[in-house]
Structure 1
Amino acid sequence: MTHTKHENHDHQHGPDCGHKSFVHGDHIDYVHDGHIHREHDGHWDECEPTEHRVHENHDHQHGPHCGHEAVRHGDHVDYIHDGHRHALHEGHWDEH
């Protein structure tokens, strides 16, 4: 993942900050204003994919009643489970 610092981010995310959070791999992401941020070495980074990665063998169809957490992310919805974020892309699911 490319290290993209979120500039001018004075807000301190945490358990009681009011923003949605979820475990993403080895860290916690915080969602607000369509951005997903993670803490990194005392500052906040955008937690965005840097390449197109298809989630292979993903037969489950995410949707409003699938049981997985949905997070609005820019112009789409990510579905979160097992430390992964999935986004629908051209008929398949991407790792996001």
Structure 2
Amino acid sequence: MSTTQHQEHAAHAHAHGPGCGHTEVPHGDHVDYAHDGHLHREHRGHWDECEPAGHAAHGTHEHRHGEGCGHARVAHGDHVDYLHDGHRHAAHDGHWDDH
């Protein structure tokens, strides 16, 4: 899996946490919060955009995500990610990416 870029979300005044109203997304050693089509994570007293660096295809993903598949949907930029086994999957050029 690719590493995550450090991109501070400087104008983010909202404090995310349990019960804040945004979808919690487990991501490695932290939790991201889906907000306005992107993901935020707390990092050293500020909020970062939590986006993968590069392209990481999930080559062995057989399950087809879609409406009613049983996995939570998270709006992410111009597409929808599906929460599955502690990470996000997104359709890309005939395969699934691991975000």
TM-score, normalised by the number of residues in structure 1 = 0.94
Residue 54 (str. 1) matches residue 57 (str. 2): yes
Instruction: Identify the residue that residue 94 of structure 1 maps to in structure 2.
Output: 97
Matched, 1:24 2:20: no
Distance 1:64 1:24 in 2: 23
Match of 1:13 among 11, 16, 20: 16
Aligned to 1:76: 79
How far has the Cα of 1:22 moved from its partner? Answer: 2.1
Q: In structure 1, the residue corresponding to 2:16 is in which secondary structure? A: coil
Q: What amino acid is the match of 1:90?
A: D
Q: List runs of 5+ in structure 2 lacking aligned partners.
A: none
Q: Using the alignment, how far apart are the partners of 1:4 and 1:20 within structure 2?
A: 20
Give secondary structure in 2 for the equivalent of 1:39.
strand
Q: Of 35, 38, 43, which aligns to 1:35?
A: 38
Within 2, Cα distance between the matches of 1:80 and 1:26? Answer: 16
Q: Distance in 1 between matches of 2:88 and 2:38?
A: 13
Aligned sequence identity (%): 65
Other-structure match for 1:65: 68
Q: TM-score normalised to the size of structure 2?
A: 0.91
Report the CA distance between 1:71 and its aligned residue: 0.7
Total equivalences in the alignment: 96
